[in-house]
Amino acid sequence: MTSVPQSCGLSLKRLARGAGVAVVFMLLAAPVLCADEPERLTVIRAGKIITGTGEEIHDGVIVLNGAKIQNVGKGLEYPLNAKVIDARNRVAMPGLINPSSRFGLSGYHRAEVHGNWTVADEYFPAPDAYDELLDAGYTTLALVPGGGGIPGRAIVVHTAGAQEQRVLQAPAYLRVTPDKRVLRGALERAQQEIEKVEKAKQEFEKKQEQERRAAPPASQPASQPGSQPTSVPATQPAFQPPPIDPAFQVLVDLIQKKPDVFALLELGSASDYVHFSEVLKKFDVAHQFLARNGQQSDFTFIAEQIGAKKPRVVLQPVINRAPNSAERIHVVRQFAQAGCEVSLMPLADDAEEHRQMLGRIALLVREGWTRAEALKAVTLHPARLLGLDSRLGSIEKDKDADLIFLDADPLDPLARVREVMIAGEIVRRVEVPQ
Amino acid sequence: MLRPATSWRWCAALLCLALALPVFAQSPAESQPSDTQPASQPASQPVSQPATQPVSQPTSAATSSLPTTTTATTSTTTVATTQAAPEKERFLAVINGRVHTVTGPVLERATVLSRNGIITAIGEHVVLPPECVVVDATGLEVYPGLVAAVAGGLHGVNQPRDTTNVYALNMAIALAGGITTALAGNDVAKLTYGTTQDLILKANAYLNINYATRSPLERAQLRADLERVRTYLRDVQRFEREKAVNKDAKPPDKEWLKEKYENYRKLLAREVISVATANSTHELADLADLAQTYGFDLVVRGAVEGWTVAPALGRAGVRAVITPRDERAPDDRFNRPNGSSIENARILHTHGVTVAVVPPTAAITLWGLAGRDLLHLNMEAAFAVRGGLSNDAAVRTITIDAARVLGVDDRIGSLEIGKDADIVVCDGDLLHYMTQVRYTIVNGRVAYDKAKETLFAHIRPQGKPEVPQFDDYWPRRLQWVGE
């Protein structure tokens, strides 16, 4: 892959002169001279573009305008002054997204409810902290708070780029570990806080009403003019709600159905889903699930009933064994077919498992999952889970130019990530041993 | 926070609910006509006979002597109220089985119908409602779900309501053994496979008086404490009497009535059941004396030498949890009968002690010797038969009597109208060594189906004695299921 703009431009000019070859090329990508186009675009000509929406374009063009994708397709026109990157020996696809990780963060022992804590408090990465994940093709991580109970809220970050531009979303979702008692207790407590505020408001309004009734005979006798200076204030005092315990504020928001926050409920086993469902029947809060099917395989029991609710579910890329049996079962496919929108997280939170991700997805496809669904599960679906699908997850118009370039199809066992682009900048080139 | 439109919707919903409620509240009364009253009464209320009953027959016998027409009326009434109910009703029927009601007679080719987890009809001509889950028990035996009076590892350790793994292998194995209810910590919990609904039957089942670990002086202290509380309760009674005639009467001081004394007050008021572990003759005799002197409900665990003091235990109304296979060598230095006896269960039962049986290891074990864990609860009861107990009484030791030991015999332990639909369907006599459980039903839901679970599906799949031949060994193929 050559990204030297001068030489590319020159070679194009030379091609434009040699008409015979140029005709073939013009079909694929046509540079047109637009004199009134002041900005300079970047054009990537890729051997194959996996857009992440299920579409695959051979010999396509991605037009970048700064950090954004301006257009993607086949045989697009672009101005002659565009910087052209020749990636015809590469497969371009959206950068991978890990929806739940603690990579690079230290261990934590927390319990109970800490809704006011976010990973932003502990996120001070070294510039190269996530280089290994870049090598694996990951451009975005949701970093979750550590510990048990309800340890706090996640943040979404880029794995490279300028330090101040790395954080994409803070705070993001609320992490809930598999502990029914803590979740139920926290929501009950949040409900109490809501009732406390409402009660205070009612009392305030009652008091206001009483004062208003007392006010009409406010024609004070002139004998005591200065004794009651504040009896009839010029403006009504605003209601001051009693303070809510900050650790429970996010749970109050959840109960009150505020947008932009949801709980990611982690499931250690199928039974946890049954227990959480009991709590969710009482408190209808926005939630999605994360099921660690790499550790416990009995999730097959709940695939149907969880799928009926059409949630977004984070799973791990493994073929499971049926509980207490030797039978191999495809739990990931079961969840997808039942109606869940499946995202995948690495089997373990280390660099190796991040590197293995595409290979494991290939296994899932080999065992009968669709290729398009499998690729979406590490790109578009986690972006939707995080609520960032307007920016991330696919190669589409107006999305961020977070791309990875592989030297073969991503599900080819020999494929390697060779270049990683975040926000239109190549941030990593992977050295291949000769 | 509610917008006007929303609040109107709420009001409308409340109105609908208010309209629906009387109909819903009426349905139990309708579904139990007055002549079925004794049958629907739980066993713990033996004397609440309606005045129309000429002879006070024992409640247990009334269950299955229901006229079948009444039973049919019951089910049709139930169907009629279905529309008014807010949630979809669950019906399950076990049909054409040989129904062992345990507290009543055995019914040939009878049906047990449950609605929302409660038995609503038992009889030969029960009309099934539409959308009823039907378990065909033709040629099979139907028993109430078995009760493990001591158990471990079937539910979550701490707060079973929140920590039980409802898909655990242990629970599936216990269900395969026919167990539907077990003691979990100090709670009585159902084995609700795949759901947490109605998991806890009774919280805080026992007050443990820690008898086994007390030194002799501490045992004397227990007796003194009980004496003090009994004196107080008598003073309260006296005060209640005097209050009517003497306005200056003062209630007895109760400042001290806290903590352990409050527990003992509950015990003597029969609000809780106490439990103690005791095996030797002198311990059992001491406990029997305590229970009889102070009049409280006592469950003794162990009771290896119970047969030596059976009359005293029976007089005191003590309930016992025993293991018929327990062995303890007699000590010849004592000039009295001692040591274990295979006849323990029979002798205790003869003297009126409510006996529950548990296996030597009251848990599911996947190691060591098979046949001594909770999977073989029915085999342990069979050992009581070996010691002379009648077959019927032995079935009681793992059903109704075990439920009585746990203080939940008003809800489970027998097949009676109004009790929970915890049912075991097996392919032979419950106590026979070849018998296997085909279906286990908990709260009106099929919690175990032998043909669908990989545990025992391959063993005598049709309940026939011949062993099926397999082309392969592993993984097990289940193709013959349903053939």
Residues of chain A found within 8 Å of residue B195, distances taken between Cβ atoms: 274
- Residue B166 and residue A256: Cβ atoms within 8 Å? no
Q: Which of B162, B167, B195 sits opposite A298 (nearest CB)?
A: B167
Query: pLDDT tens-digit profile of B3-55?
Result: 444 444 454 444 444 444 333 333 433 344 333 333 334 433 333 333 333 33
Distance from CA of A197 to the nearest CA of B (A): 11
Q: Is the pLDDT of residue B276 over 90?
A: yes
d(CA B18, CA B312): 56
Query: pLDDT tens-digit profile of B229-271?
Result: 999 999 999 999 998 888 888 888 888 988 899 999 999 999 9
Q: Is the pLDDT of residue B57 over 50?
A: no
Residues of chain A found within 8 Å of residue B162, distances taken between Cβ atoms: 180-181, 184, 275
Helices (H), A237-386: 246-255, 270-282, 303-307, 331-338, 351-366, 371-376, 380-385
- Residue B194 and residue A274: Cβ atoms within 8 Å? yes
Q: Is the pLDDT of residue A225 over 70?
A: no
Sign of the alpha-carbon torsion through A10, A16, A22, A27: positive
- Residue B167 and residue A301: Cβ atoms within 8 Å? yes
Determine the 3-state secondary structure of B173 from DSSP: helix
The two tokens of residue A260 are: 């932009």
Residue B152, judged by CB atoms within 10 A of its CB (0-12, 13-18, 19+), counts as: middle
Q: Best of A177, A278, A305 to disrupt the B interface by mutation (most B CBs within 10 Å)? A: A278
- Of A19-23, A58-62, A395-399, where does mean pLDDT reach its minimum? A19-23
- Residue B196 and residue A324: Cβ atoms within 8 Å? no
**What's the farthest any 2 CA atoms get from each other in chain A?**
107
**What would the mean pLDDT of B346-353 be, rounded to a whole number?**
95
What pLDDT band is residue B473 in, cutting at 50, 70 and 90?
low
Measured between CA atoms, the residue of chain A closest to residue B197 is A278
Q: What is the pLDDT of residue A31?
A: 63
Q: How many CA atoms lie within 13 A of B446 on its CB side?
A: 19
Using an 8 Å CB-CB cutoff, list residues of chain B that contact chain A: 1, 159, 162-169, 172, 194-197, 454-455, 474-476
Distance from CA of B156 to the nearest CA of A (A): 11
- Of A128-132, A332-336, B97-101, B178-182, where does mean pLDDT reach its minimum? A128-132
Distance from CA of A316 to the nearest CA of B (A): 20
Pick the closest to residue B387 from B347, B328, B414, B360 (CA basis). Answer: B347
- Residue A256 and residue B168: Cβ atoms within 8 Å? no
Q: Which domains does chain A have, with CATH numbers?
A: 8-94+395-434 (2.30.40.10), 96-198+243-392 (3.20.20.140)
Q: Is the pLDDT of residue A434 over 90?
A: no
Distance from CA of B475 to the nearest CA of A (A): 6
Measured between CA atoms, the residue of chain A closest to residue B172 is A324
Residues of chain B found within 8 Å of residue A326, distances taken between Cβ atoms: 474-475
Distance from CA of A264 to the nearest CA of B (A): 19
What is the predicted ipTM?
0.80
- The pTM of the full predicted model, rounded to 2 decimals, is 0.80
What pLDDT band is residue A35 in, cutting at 50, 70 and 90?
low
- Residue A323 and residue B196: Cβ atoms within 8 Å? no
The two tokens of residue A385 are: 């889970």
**What would the mean pLDDT of B305-317 be, rounded to a whole number?**
95
Distance from CA of B196 to the nearest CA of A (A): 7
